[in-house]
Amino acid sequence: MGQVVSTEELIGIRRQAGREDRKVVFTNGCFDLIHRGHVEYLGQAKAMGDILVVGLNSDRSVRQLKGQGRPLTPQDDRAQVLAALEMVDYVCLFDEQTPARLISAVLPDVLVKGGDYRPDEIVGRETVKEAGGKVVVVPLTEGFSTKGLIEKILELKR
């Protein structure tokens, strides 16, 4: 089972991984309602390295990005659910709209985002590339999205 850690703890974990020649993979998101698409995406990300770190938007950050009414699930609950997934090693909350500061602090070997992003839109891509890492876009699993789940729930309620 993974762990929820602070940025400072994560920096230490990253240093240790580097000394042990272990590859660190980083991804991020809101992960408001975990679904099959998330699980498949995280599994693909984990396959790219030894340690999978998930940067998780705080509640405040999610509200800024998604609007009032979101997140549906509080940050501590989202963090614990993510950490319980087999492929996730560490979860670290960030309060900004983007994970740029966290990515700069961790400098992962691989930065992964879903296929709803173009490579030039990925926050932290330049930082990772300049440090010798790579940026990978993983195709999304069709038919699975948090927005779609919310819409389906609201439709059933009518």
Does pLDDT of 76 surpass 90? yes
* pLDDT tens-digit series, residues 133-155: 999 999 877 766 666 666 667 67
pLDDT band at 9 (very low <50, low <70, confident <90, very high): very high
Q: What is the CATH number of the domain that holds 87?
A: 3.40.50.620
Query: Cβ(19)–Cβ(44) under 8 Å?
Result: no
What's the confidence (pLDDT) of residue 69? Answer: 85
What's the confidence (pLDDT) of residue 17? Answer: 98
Strand partners, 28: 55
Angstrom distances, CA of residue 90 to CA of 31, 117, 124, 149: 14, 23, 19, 26
pTM of the model: 0.90
Domain of residue 138 covers: 3-157
| Domain count within the chain | 1
